[in-house]
Amino acid sequence: MMSDKNVIFDIQKFSMDDGPGIRTIVFLKGCPLKCPWCANPESQSIEPEIGHHYTLCQECGKCAALCPQHAITMIGGDKKLHIDRDKCVVCGTCVKNCIYRALSIYGRVETVDNIYEEVNKDRDYYDVTGGGVTLSGGELLAQPDFAAAILTKCKDEGINTCVETTGYATPENFAKILPYVDIFLYDMKSLDDAVHQKWTGVPLEPILRNLDTAMASPSEVVIRLPLIPGVNDYEENLFATRDKLLELNKIKPVRIEILPYHNYGEGKYVMTHRDYTLKDMKRHTPEQLAAVCKIFEDAGIECVLHKS
């Protein structure tokens, strides 16, 4: 189990996609799931890491010469850069000395007060649009105390709070954030435990248990379905998801948001030296996406289709 390191990898302003109104998104680093379609692979490790922007790299070798840990080597006849990530201590020397801006650090340790200060700068926009702050990741529950501290501060200061979560956490860690969350954007990738474990690496049971807890709380709950071709877009799973939504709607109103698969994050896999295994995956057509929405709408469930 990961423990809190107070590491974020981005703060994104003026988002309109992750909760109501204009929002500031705080991306926490670290995730216990291993979904191959992840659009933010730089979020998966809780540790800060070096990104190599290969399209900007001139292969000059300066970074390799200056690295105090000898973590960078230029390999092969074409002198391609290789980073030994076990040796790298993320000191930033290479980043500072690359005049081509071909290196960057994903992730930084941040304080709750600094994050709040940044979030609070856009308070006027939140007030006019009904927006606020959204914590995302990674999986924010990989750093439950840090996440709870940010949410508590924002909520105490009157800022609407939203979390985008897989729901994968112990009951104790889930309970830490629960009182400070106005809106859950709650992933439901598959309702078949074997499929869920195969693609994400974790069991479904803790996610459904925490969903029950969220449903029993005063927080608003929105279900999000990342729709992945050949993984969870088959009828049996869509009908099971529809039935689950009907069950949830007996407790309180819950809509579903469909997040179509895209491969926009593929370049970041190369930058952080990870394999992108879904290279040949074809995206859904608008007609296919509309048909998925119709399954929910025909059952009287509000369905929002996100842009792909």
**Interface with ligand SF4 (CB under 6 A):** 50, 57-63, 67, 69, 71-72, 81, 83, 88-94, 98, 100, 102-103
86 vs 280 by CB, closer to ligand SF4: 86
Helix (H, G, I), strand (E, B) or coil at 28: strand
> What's the min distance (Å) between Cβ of 47 and ligand SF4?
12
74 vs 215 by CB, closer to ligand SF4: 74
Question: Per the omega criterion (within 30 degrees of 0), is the bond before 138 cis?
Answer: yes
- Residue closest to 138 by CA, chosen among 89, 187, 179, 88: 187
Cβ distance 108 to 9 under 8 Å? Answer: yes
> What's the min distance (Å) between Cβ of 150 and ligand SF4?
27
In whole angstroms, give the CA distance from residue 33 to residue 106: 19
89 vs 251 by CB, closer to ligand SF4: 89
What is the phi/psi pair of residue 51, to 5°?
A: -105, 135
107 vs 167 by CB, closer to ligand SF4: 107
> What's the min distance (Å) between Cβ of 58 and ligand SF4?
4
> What's the min distance (Å) between Cβ of 95 and ligand SF4?
6
Which DSSP string do the residues of 152-198 spell out, in sequence order?
Answer: HHHHHTT-EEEEEE---S-HHHHHHHGGG-SEEEEE---S-HHHHHH
86 vs 124 by CB, closer to ligand SF4: 86
In whole angstroms, give the CA distance from residue 227 to residue 35: 12
| Residue written as token pair 């076990």 | 86
> What's the min distance (Å) between Cβ of 42 and ligand SF4?
15
71 vs 225 by CB, closer to ligand SF4: 71
> What's the min distance (Å) between Cβ of 100 and ligand SF4?
4
